[in-house]
Amino acid sequence: MAPWGYEKDNGPAHWHKDCPIANGKNQSPIDLINGEVKYDSGLKPLTAKYVPFSDAKFLNNGHSVQFQPSAGNGSELTGGPLAVKYNFEQFHFHWGNNDTEGSEHRVDGKMYPAELHFVHWNSTNPSFKDAVGSGGPNGLAVLGFFLKVGAENAALKPITDLIPKVKDAGTSVTVPSNFDMQAILPATLTDYYTYDGSLTTPPLAECVKWIVFKQPLEVSAAQMEAFRSVINRDGKPMGGNYRPPCPLHDRAVKTSFK
Ligand X SMILES: Cc1ccnc(S(N)(=O)=O)n1
Give the residue numbers marked as catalytic.
Answer: 63
Q: In whole angstroms, what is the distance from residue 39 CA to residue 258 CA?
A: 6
Nearer to Zn ion, 39 or 239 (CB): 239
**117 lines the binding site for Zn ion (CB under 5 A):** yes
Q: Which stretch binds Zn ion (CB under 5 A): 95-103, 109-117, 166-174, 240-248?
A: 109-117
**Apex 89 CA angle, 43 and 138, nearest 5:** 40
**120 lines the binding site for Zn ion (CB under 5 A):** no
Q: In whole angstroms, what is the distance from residue 188 CA to residue 149 CA?
A: 21
- b or e along 86-123 (b: 16 or more beta carbons within 10 Å of the residue's beta carbon)? bbbbbbbbbbbeeeebbbbbbbeeebbbbbbbbbbbbe
At residue 148, the 3 state secondary structure works out as strand
156 binds, among Zn ion, ligand X, none (CB under 5 to 8 A by kind): none
HSE-CB at 130 with a 13 A cutoff on CA atoms is 7
Q: Which of 27, 200, 223, 255 binds ligand X (CB under 6 A)?
A: 200
Q: Which stretch binds Zn ion (CB under 5 A): 4-12, 112-120, 219-227, 238-246?
A: 112-120
Q: Are 253 and 210 in contact (CB under 8 A)?
A: no
**189 lines the binding site for ligand X (CB under 6 A):** no
Q: Are 118 and 142 in contact (CB under 8 A)?
A: yes
Smallest distance from the beta carbon of 42 to Zn ion, in angstroms? 27
119 binds, among ligand X, Zn ion, none (CB under 5 to 8 A by kind): ligand X
Binding mask 59-98 for ligand X (x = CB under 6 A): ----------------------------------------
Q: Which of 30, 48, 142, 189 binds ligand X (CB under 6 A)?
A: 142
Nearest to 197 by CA among 136, 128, 109: 136
- Site for Zn ion (CB under 5 A): how many residues? 1
Nearest to 172 by CA among 159, 181, 183: 159
Nearer to ligand X, 119 or 224 (CB): 119
**199 lines the binding site for ligand X (CB under 6 A):** yes
Q: Which positions lie near ligand X, rule CB under 6 A?
A: 117, 119, 142, 199-201
Q: Which positions lie near Zn ion, rule CB under 5 A?
A: 117
